[in-house]
Amino acid sequence: MAVQSVGVIGAGQMGNGIAHVFAVAGYDVLLTDISRDALDKAIALIDRNLERQVSRDKITPEVKATAMGHIRTTQTLADLGQCDLVIEAATERETVKQAIFEDLVPHLKPETILTSNTSSISITRLASRTDRPEKFMGFHFMNPVPVMQLVELIRGIATDEPTYKTLHAVVEKLGKTSATAEDFPAFIVNRILMPMINEAVYTLYEGVGSVSSIDSAMKLGTNHPMGPLELADFIGLDTCLAIMNVLHDGLADTKYRPCPLLTKYVEAGWLGRKTDRGFYDYR
């Protein structure tokens, strides 16, 4: 199936990055969020990030102008009804995602491919609540989306081959690379990354090292671009905790037990960069 128009649900850090890369690749993007303020902020951020790419000679000013012209916004979910592909990138909470799909599905044309950018939740379960499990897939981008090369493709139990092939081709058109994962909790990237981040929080909790020594050790000792605690702040500590809970519940193994310190930070509202406070203080 040919994809030209793409609906993106959620204008947060993942949603605006996804809108950005689709617009640069020439797709018509309709970005939706319940908050007008979030949509305005997302457009301003996409403009800034595209400008950053222009200033570093990654794209021309013409590509930036064309990309901005490809993006429209709406607060009405029903406006996504005619899109060829819809990508849900809302909060990482299953009830929120299911409520969105229930509102959206009656408006969709039959051939629309429906996807979720979930970083951990069962694709099969999300798909089963829609009218099109065979046209439903996990479509997982990495943050920051304009920079990261990988997109995880996750097939639910009912996903059909044409849907998989269409999304595989879309990833190539974006200039990115896909890795295909089976539908198990947190798929590939977060199955491996989150226990590492959680272990870094345990390392802090048990007093093995300070925030800066843990991050320096991993940056300089293993050539990671960011230390695990800095990366946790970047991703959002609430998202990290939500993914650890999905691993713990879904795989029923104590090795995935979220560190109590991670839980405490989330309870305090210290969610990382987005709240200006996490393992680091950004105020």
Active site residues: 119, 140, 152, 190
Q: Where on the phi/psi map is residue 181: left (φ > 0), alpha (ψ -120 to 50), or beta?
A: beta
Residue number with CB closer to ligand CAA (84 or 230): 230
In the bound state with ligand CAA, the residue whose beta carbon lies nearer, of 84 and 215, is 215
DSSP character string of 195-232: HHHHHHHHHHHTTSS-HHHHHHHHHHHH--SS-HHHHH
Least Å from the CB of residue 131 to ligand CAA: 27
Q: How far apart are CA 10 and CA 183, in angstroms?
A: 23
Chain-centroid distance of CA 29 in Å reads 17
Burial of 97 (0-12, 13-18, 19+ CB in 10 A): buried
Distance in Å, CB of 5 to ligand CAA, minimum: 23
User: What amino acid occupies position 128?
Assistant: S
Please answer whether residues 154 and 183 qualify as being in contact, where contact means their C-beta atoms are separated by less than 8 angstroms: yes
d(CA 78, CA 82) in angstroms, rounded, equals 9
CB of 80 to ligand CAA, least distance (A): 23
68's enclosing H/E stretch is: helix 61-69
Residue numbers of the site for ligand CAA (CB under 6 A)? 49, 52-53, 56, 58, 119, 142-144, 146-148, 189-190, 193, 225-226, 231, 235, 239
- Closest CB to ligand CAA: residue number: 119
Please say which residue, 56 or 283, places its beta carbon nearer to ligand CAA: 56
Nearer CB in complex with ligand CAA: 116/190: 190
Dihedral of the alpha carbons of 236, 205, 120, 43, in degrees to the nearest 10: 10
Min dist. Cβ of residue 110 to ligand CAA (A): 30
Q: Position of tokens 């798909």?
A: 127
**Using an 8 Å Cβ cutoff, are 189 and 152 in contact?**
yes
Q: Nearer to ligand CAA by C-beta: 77 or 121?
A: 121
Query: What is the nearest approach in angstroms of ligand CAA to the Cβ of residue 19?
Result: 12
Q: Which of 79, 82, 190, 181 is nearest to 124 (CA)?
A: 181
